């Protein structure tokens, strides 16, 4: 994942309380107004994530375009 794309995700989720579901994570990014982060986070598998490190690991596993 490119650093810039991950920066969007980190910024969008900076104040999200974990654990959180995929739906909560995507909704939070949308509420923060970060369309790029929301686009990336929609690729997450449906799950409950314990922390932002879990989110990053899942995004790395699903791959895709990080541009």
Predicted local confidence at residue 57, as pLDDT: 94
Q: What is the mean pLDDT of the chain?
A: 91
Tell me whether residue 12 is in a domain.
Answer: yes
Tell me whether residue 35 is in a domain.
Answer: yes
Tell me whether residue 67 is in a domain.
Answer: no
- Predicted TM-score of the model (pTM): 0.88
> Percentage of residues in the chain with pLDDT exceeding 70?
90
**CB-CB contact of 4 with 36 (8 Å):** no
**CB-CB contact of 25 with 16 (8 Å):** yes
17: CB partners within 8 A, 6+ apart = none
Instruction: Give the domain range for residue 28.
Output: 3-62
**CB-CB contact of 42 with 26 (8 Å):** yes
**Alpha-carbon gap, residue 5 to 56, rounded angstroms:** 11
């Amino acid at each position: 994942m490119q650093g810039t794309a991950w920066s969007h995700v980190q910024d969008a989720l900076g104040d999200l309380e974990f654990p959180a579901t995929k739906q909560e994570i995507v909704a939070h990014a949308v509420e923060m107004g970060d369309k790029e982060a929301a686009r990336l986070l929609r690729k997450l598998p449906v799950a409950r994530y314990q922390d932002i490190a879990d989110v990053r690991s899942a995004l790395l596993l699903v791959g895709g375009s990080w541009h």
